[in-house]
Amino acid sequence: MATASSDFLTLLNKKDPNTILQLKEIVRSGLGFDKLSDAQKLLLHDAALSLNLPNGLVLYVKIVLDPESIDLPPLPASQKETNANINQVIAANVEKLRADLAAAQNEVATKLGGRSKSDKELIYRLLRVAAIRKEADRLTAESDQKARSLLEKIAYEADTKTQPQPEIQKGIAALLETAIAATGLIYSPNQKQEAVNLIAAATLAEVENLANENSRSEVLQAALSTHPDYHTPTSDLFRQIDENTNYTPAPNYSDTINRQITDDLAVNLNKITLPPTEINPAEVAFSVPGPLQDRLEKTQVLITFFSGKIITNDKTDLVMANLTGAITPEQEKEFTNLIIAADLTDRIAATQAAATAATVIGKLNPTSPLAPVLRWRSMGADPTAIQKHVQTLPGSKLSAFVHNNPTVLLHFQRQTQKLNLPTNQLGRETTAPPRLGPLAGLTNGFQSITNRLSGFLPGQVGQVFNAATHPFQFIQGKIGNFIGNQFVDKFKGWLVEKVGAKIANESFNRAAQFVLKEGLTKGIEKVASFAIAKIGGTALVAGISAAIGISTLGVGTVIQVAVMAGIEVAKFGGKVVMGILNGLSRAMTDKDFDWKPIAAAPLLLLTGAGGLLGSLGAATSVAAMSAGVALVISALVGFFLYITIITVAPIITTIAQLDSGLGPQQGPAFGGVYEPYTGPILPGCSQIWPVSGGLVLQGPHGTYSHLTAEAVDIYVPIGTPVKSMSSGMVTLTGWGDSYGNWIQVRSTSANGKSYTVIYAHLSEIGVQVGNPVGVGTVIALSGASSSVPSFANPHLHMEYRGIAYNSCPAGGVQVPDGCAGAVVGKPNACLINGKPIYTK
Amino acid sequence: MNLFKNHRFLPISLGVVTVLAIILYLILRPAPTLPIITPTPTVTPKVIPTLGIVPANPNQRLIINWNNLTIAPPDKLVLYTIIGPLINDQAIGIVATALGFRETDAKATLQKTSQLYTRDNRSLFASTSQNQVQFADSGPLPTKVGFENIIALEQQTTAYLNQFFKNTSFTKTDNTEYFLGRTDDYYPQIVSREKANLVRFAFQQTIAGYPLLTTATKNAIVVFTYDSNRSLRSLEISGGYGQTEPGQTVSLLGFDSLRQVATRLAVPLSLETTVDNKSLIDSQLIVTLDLKSLNLIYFAKPENRQIVPAFLLQGTLTGNFPDTPATYLVPAAAP
């Protein structure tokens, strides 16, 4: 011992004489390794490396168990005995784990029931693989790297062979070597072999205990994330297990639930006391006048109450997808193939909800719009992983597809989040934006060019130019303003209070009964007919509705209602209009007018009047040249607005949501409509840039990180002064998670709409909450702050909430929607006329 | 017209006159004398410490799935005041020198409490009023991946901390993260240690045995990021204290009270998400927190000086957006 101690001390002295003193302090402190300070751990690591020991822990064990090695008094005999007892404790614990393993295996066998032997074997094998990987992950940097690598290798190989046990044991033996070194215990060869057997059993037992669903998901996810090759069989098997253990019955409206819903609707709606929080109408999905806003609020509360009680209805998903144009079969097929080809590194396991939903796919409704999403999920695909892929590999086929078909990824994202909800809420609606009409691209291109041109023109000239290039919106705006000024104050309240409320009350009970009984589609037709019959085709209503300037950013069910209501309007009183438009349409396309896109017009109108032309196609572009036709369309659209938003939408939305198990129809409350803004720059916008000398890296809805954000990123050196884009008041400063240091400024647009401007990733914040700011006021210095690492990419993130970015763009320059990157020649880069966009 | 000639109008007219007389009486009668109230001494209301966090969407409502989690906090805890913030002029000078900046690298700032240095791709911002330091090196990232000797980097980090803040102790958190970053990437991706060219260490401070959280990256006081060449690529310091002073002792909410007030008082501390998803989350009117852990901590915003106890609710935020790890705070002091 004396010799060994001397050698040890000699080696340590060569390292640093002071180290010995510190090691003695550690031993005398009596603290466990995990209780040592970081500095003490680092000292141990450093010393261990110089002594060719694996790590600091090993050295710690050595000097604690053998204090003589550093010239400290030996351990008392009782302590040595305690160490000897550790073996027995391990053995006892392992026996317990063995018993647990047997119980777990029995449970698996029971749950798998009549599954084939090969299925069972595969599941067992995958679980073992996951177990070993998990065990390997548990070994931290303090562990033996060789043992860890070996385990990884064994884990991989084990999954490809039928008898992995011997190799697992090899890995365990390597682990044990580390353990022996770490604990300082002495093993005979027999003891060692027994320990290997016991630990191997314990390792398997730990993760093969399938009693806990969460741990089961966790181990499978660990296995799948490491080796995506296994995703398909594992996901399928996983789903099959869940199908047997967590089977959810098919959607079924029981009489009890029906009665409960209708009774509670009728009785409780007016009893609900709203929370005292005042909701800003400009910031909620629906911006409807007072009484109906109140009704909507109450409805949302009620829906929240019911959402946990209502069973899924996949039919409504299908209806919704058809009406809103979720994704086409071709898109689905191509996206599926690209996901497979992309070899995503961040695949995930199938969720429990997806597993349950497999029942819906396979047995109940193969055409459900959930089908593609579930298929992608069962492949292990994850929308976040795809988004990352798009960010990191912008040139890939998958990235190009996502860029050209943004609604597909959006659909995937939204459906995925629904799938992650509890299974009883599965099957919620898709809220993907509607497809534009067949000739929308051409029209949008025209509008995009004219919008950009108008952006360069000053004040009055720009307005004249807009009037010339966007006659429809211009005329509609003028008409709306005129009628609004004349009548809105007199008739708005009357319309809402008398007509709307009366119809709503009468409609409600009838509709609730009918929809729940007959289904959503028929119910909407019924209620729309009823509402229209009550309202009549008053031209005044149309004009006033448009003039009121009702705005909604909600999508989904509202679109559906608009579609159905629009069709009903056409049936009821739109024959003359239909004739005109059919004539125009035949002249242009040899086909009758397609009513579906025009029925979606209210939403498109509200997201920017230019969208209406896009939805109607070139035929309407021609029609829009005629003020007379524009008047007709305006009246028709106004009529839709009235029906959809004032009277029918709140009722139908409620019913539809209840029918389909929807939660509240929120929509992007702050204005992210996820649709390109193709209208002109609105009057009254400032023409300055928030930072000088920057380069625009990403536009609104950009594929890097702005898919749902009305924002631009401007690459600019840290410390560049940031100027306010608008006049208003500072409403928030501080830390905004992924936004880093941020400032929010509340402003009001020229037409009285309230909106928020966000400046993010700042370094210095130069204003406080409550400070007024004017256009051009320096409010901050740019930076690179963020909880998501962005230090390699300092930039200013400027975002609007409440209005579309390109309706009031910085510098008066509309940035191409969806662009990301600023490299000339790269597809989808943020360029204008082929050149990068620099800020002045 | 003489209404009184017609018998039918007489009672009506008399009624009208009576009503008018009553109205006139009510208007013209002298105001009743109010009793004199002797003012009583005003009791100074107990000030309940607040967290000072304003949610991005104050209309958003939180639903919490408690998942049978519970907590047994102590009856009382002491409030603390930071009398010496971690970032002061001396610390800024040491950090700037240690990171190789000279006075000639200094640039203009908006306030006297801030300092900014830039040279080539490297920049350092520090503010005593924000109690923050941000250092970033945006130069090209190395293509080499893997961190074989993480201990050496930990030693380097300890050396930095000892140099920057003498006599102040920090605890390294467990969530060391590895990233693969490319120079033209917007955001580095989280990867395994073997595939990474960036590593991020986070450090916390504790007070009275409880971790001190703040609004910052990973809610940590100090965060270092190194590249695979062992170069420091970013340093984020936010909040933290050099010296504190104990203040009043406050009673804490029990678990039952916490459950009652949490939905109303919980404020989001951090969401582990991207700009895109945060924008989406902020827009929601209703979100649900699926609780995974519940702890008692101390909290102080970087620019605040008061350290207050709070319950830390960690879990998964669900709603009309991708599931997101999230942390919420509920003030722990009982009203």
CA-based nearest distance A706→chain B, Å: 5
Residues A26-46 pLDDT 10s: 888 777 666 677 677 777 777
Contact yes or no for A764 and B238 at CB 8 A: no
Minimum mean pLDDT range among A123-137, A317-331, A490-504, B179-193: A490-504
For position B299, what pLDDT does the model report?
96
Q: Which residues of B touch A668 (CB under 8 A)?
A: 280, 283
pLDDT band at A627; cut points 50, 70, 90: very low
For position A384, what pLDDT does the model report?
79
Mean of the per-residue pLDDT values of chain A: 55
Distance of alpha carbon B42 from the chain centroid: 33
Token pair belonging to A517: 């009984």
* Mean pLDDT in residue range A65-71: 79
| A162 and chain B in contact, CB less than 8 A | no
| A428 and chain B in contact, CB less than 8 A | no
Contact yes or no for A760 and B130 at CB 8 A: no
| A410 and chain B in contact, CB less than 8 A | no
Q: Which of residues 201-240 of B touch A (CB under 8 A)?
A: 215-218, 225, 233-234, 236, 238
Residue A42 has its nearest CB partner, among B151, B271, B318, at: B151
Query: What backbone torsions phi and psi does residue B79 show, to the nearest 5 degrees?
Result: -85, 150
Residue B283 has its nearest CB partner, among A39, A670, A735, at: A670
For position A352, what pLDDT does the model report?
40
Residues A241-275 pLDDT 10s: 433 333 233 223 333 333 433 343 334 333 433 33
For position A518, what pLDDT does the model report?
47
Task: For residue A697, give the 3-state DSSP assignment.
Answer: strand
Q: Which residues of A touch B216 (CB under 8 A)?
A: 735, 787
CA-based nearest distance B333→chain A, Å: 23
Percent of chain A residues topping a pLDDT of 70: 31
pLDDT band at A725; cut points 50, 70, 90: very high
| B122 and chain A in contact, CB less than 8 A | no
* Mean pLDDT in residue range A130-158: 43
Minimum mean pLDDT range among A89-93, A208-212, B99-103: A208-212
* Whether residue A520 has pLDDT greater than 70: no
* Mean pLDDT in residue range A454-463: 39
β-pairing, B210-213 vs B286-299, is parallel
Q: Which of residues 351-380 of A touch B (CB under 8 A)?
A: none
What ipTM was reported for this prediction?
0.84
CA-based nearest distance A335→chain B, Å: 20
For position A796, what pLDDT does the model report?
95
Among A345, A715, A764, which would you mutate to test the B interface (most chain B Cβ atoms within 10 Å of its Cβ)? A764
Q: Which residues of B touch A766 (CB under 8 A)?
A: 110-111
pLDDT band at A73; cut points 50, 70, 90: confident
* Whether residue A712 has pLDDT greater than 90: yes
* Whether residue A23 has pLDDT greater than 80: yes
pLDDT band at A549; cut points 50, 70, 90: very low
Q: Distance between CA atoms of B330 and B311, rounded to whole angstroms?
A: 5
Residues A570-613 pLDDT 10s: 343 344 334 433 443 343 334 444 433 333 333 333 322 222 33
For position A778, what pLDDT does the model report?
94
For position A616, what pLDDT does the model report?
32
- As a three-state string, the secondary structure of A344-400 is CCCCCCCCHHHHHHHHHHHHHCCCCCHHHHHHHHHCCCCHHHHHHHHHHCCCCHHHH
- List chain B pLDDT tens, one digit each, 335 residues: 444 445 555 566 666 666 666 666 655 555 444 444 334 444 444 556 778 888 888 777 787 888 889 999 999 999 999 999 999 999 999 999 999 999 999 999 999 999 999 998 899 999 999 999 999 998 888 989 999 888 889 889 999 999 999 888 899 988 889 998 876 677 788 888 888 999 999 999 999 999 999 999 888 999 999 999 999 999 999 999 999 999 999 999 999 889 888 888 899 998 877 777 787 788 776 788 889 999 999 999 988 889 999 999 999 998 777 788 899 999 999 87
Q: Which residues of B touch A388 (CB under 8 A)?
A: 189
Q: Which residue has the higher pLDDT, A329 or B108?
A: B108
Positive or negative, the CA dihedral A398, A399, A405, A411 is positive
For position A683, what pLDDT does the model report?
74
Q: Which residue has the higher pLDDT, A307 or A336?
A: A336
For position A175, what pLDDT does the model report?
55
Positive or negative, the CA dihedral A42, A44, A49, A50 is positive
**Packed helices A56-65 and A17-29: angle between N→C axes, nearest 10 degrees:** 70
pLDDT band at A781; cut points 50, 70, 90: very high
Contact yes or no for B134 and A784 at CB 8 A: yes
For position A39, what pLDDT does the model report?
72
Residue B186 has its nearest CB partner, among A45, A705, A707, at: A705
Q: Which residue has the higher pLDDT, A335 or A563?
A: A335
Task: Give percent helix, percent strand, percent coil of chain B, each to the nearest 5.
Answer: 25, 40, 40
CA-based nearest distance A608→chain B, Å: 20
For position A277, what pLDDT does the model report?
35
Q: Distance between CA atoms of A799 and B59, rounded to whole angstroms?
A: 19
Q: Which residues of A touch B273 (CB under 8 A)?
A: 737-738, 788
For position A68, what pLDDT does the model report?
81
For position A305, what pLDDT does the model report?
38
Q: Which residue has the higher pLDDT, A785 or A432?
A: A785
Contact yes or no for B286 and A664 at CB 8 A: yes
Token pair belonging to B223: 């965060």
Residue A304 has its nearest CB partner, among B186, B286, B301, at: B286
Q: Report the run of H or E that residue A781 belongs to, with start and end.
A: strand A778-782
Count of CB pairs separated by less than 8 Å, A with B: 226
Among A302, A741, A743, A763, which would you mutate to test the B interface (most chain B Cβ atoms within 10 Å of its Cβ)? A763
For position A298, what pLDDT does the model report?
46
Q: Which of residues 390-409 of A touch B (CB under 8 A)?
A: 391-392
Q: What's the burial of A663, exposed, middle or buried (CB within 10 Å: 0-12/13-18/19+)? A: buried
Residues A7-22 pLDDT 10s: 677 777 666 677 888 8
Other C-beta atoms within 10 Å of A398: how many? 22
Q: Which residues of B touch A667 (CB under 8 A)?
A: 283
| Angle at A207 (CA atoms; ends A204, A208), nearest 5 degrees | 70
Residue A792 has its nearest CB partner, among B141, B169, B285, at: B141
Closest CA to A429 of A358, A369, A352: A369
Query: What backbone torsions phi and psi does residue A715 show, to the nearest 5 degrees?
Result: -70, 125
Q: Which residues of B touch A43 (CB under 8 A)?
A: none
| B197 and chain A in contact, CB less than 8 A | no
Q: Which residue has the higher pLDDT, A417 or B125?
A: B125
Contact of A638 with A708, CB cutoff 8 Å: no
Q: Distance between CA atoms of A757 and A712, rounded to whole angstroms?
A: 11
